[in-house]
Amino acid sequence: MGTWAPPEASTTGATPLDRYFHVTERGSTVRTELIGGLATWLTMSYILFVNPSILGALPDKNGASLPFDQVLAVTALAAAVLTLAMGLYANYPFAMAAGLGLNAFVAFTLVGAFGLSWAQAMGIVVIEGLAITLLVLTGFRNAVLNAIPMDLKRAIGIGIGAFIAFIGLSTGCNDAGGCKGIVVTGQGTFVALNPNLSTLRILVFVIGLAVTAAMVARRVKGALLFGILFTTIVATVINQVWGHSSIWPSGIAHVPDKWVSSPHFDLIGDFTLRFSGSLAFWTTIAIVLSVMLSDFFDTMGTVVGIAGEGGMLDQEGRLPGINRVLLVDSLGAALGGFTSSSSNTTYIESAAGVSEGARTGLASVVVGALFLLALFFSSLAGVIPPEATAPVLVLVGYFMMVIVKDINWQDPSIGIPALLTIVMMPFTFSITNGVGAGFIAFTVIRILQGRWKDIHWLMFLVSAVFGWYFWHGLLP
Q: Are 253 and 383 spatial neighbours (Cβ–Cβ below 8 Å)?
A: yes
Q: How open is the CA angle 89-93-97, to the nearest 5 degrees?
A: 85
Element containing residue 344 per DSSP (H, E): strand 344-346
* Domain boundary pick from 358, 384, 405: 405
Residue where a domain stops, chosen among 356, 389, 405: 405
CB 360 within 8 A of CB 22: yes
Measured in whole angstroms, the distance separating CA 182 from the mean position of its chain's CA atoms is 21
Are 93 and 350 a contacting pair, CB within 8 Å? yes
- The rounded distance, in Å, linking the Cα atoms of 208 and 421 is 30
- Residue 276 is predicted with a pLDDT of 61
Same domain, 476 and 356: no
The one-character DSSP state at 187 is S
- Taking the C-alpha atoms of residue 372 and residue 37, their distance in angstroms, rounded to an integer, is 14
Distances (CA, A) of 381 to 43, 55, 75, 260, 373: 11, 19, 13, 11, 10
What pLDDT, on a 0 to 100 scale, did the predictor assign at position 28?
92
Q: Which of 231, 264, 223, 237 is nearest to 376 (CA)?
A: 264
Nearest-angstrom CA–CA distance, 15 and 148: 38
Whether residue 476 lies inside any domain: the answer is yes
Residues 347 and 437 in one domain: no
Q: Output the pLDDT for position 303.
A: 87
Is residue 260 one of the residues assigned to a domain? yes
Helix (H, G, I), strand (E, B) or coil at 219: coil
From CA 110, how far away is CA 88, in angstroms rounded? 34
Based on the fold, state whether residues 221 and 257 are members of the same structural domain.
yes
**Are 305 and 440 contained in the same domain?**
no
446 shares its domain with 367:
no
The series of mean pLDDT values per 10 residues for the chain, 476 residues long, is 44 72 91 93 81 82 85 94 96 92 78 85 91 86 76 85 84 53 78 82 92 91 82 90 74 74 86 69 62 69 83 82 90 94 91 91 96 79 78 85 90 95 86 84 94 86 82 58
Whether 298 maps to a domain, the answer reads: yes
Q: Which domain holds residue 297?
A: 7-169+197-405
In this structure, the answer to whether residues 321 and 248 fall within a common structural domain is: yes
Residues 400 and 414 in one domain: no
Q: Do 347 and 470 fall within a single domain? A: no
Count how many domains the chain has: 2
Q: Is residue 368 part of a domain?
A: yes
Output the pLDDT for position 443: 94
Same domain, 20 and 139: yes
Is there a single domain that holds both residue 268 and residue 283? yes
Residue 67: its pLDDT value, please? Answer: 85
pLDDT at 457: 86
- Classified as helix, coil or strand, 193 is strand
Q: Do residue 311 and residue 220 come from a single domain?
A: yes
Residue 205 is assigned to a structural domain of this protein: yes
Residue 180 domain flag: no
- Structural domain contains residue 182: no
Neighbours of 64 (CB within 10 A): 13
Q: What angle do CA 44, 50, 54 make, to 5 degrees?
A: 145
pLDDT in the model for residue 88: 96
What confidence score (pLDDT) does residue 213 get?
95
Q: Quote the CA–CA distance of 437 and 467 in Å, as a whole number.
A: 9
Same domain? For 430 and 399 the reply is no
Domain assignment present for 1:
no
Domain final residue pick, 378, 405, 432: 405
User: What per-residue confidence (pLDDT) applies to 412?
Assistant: 95
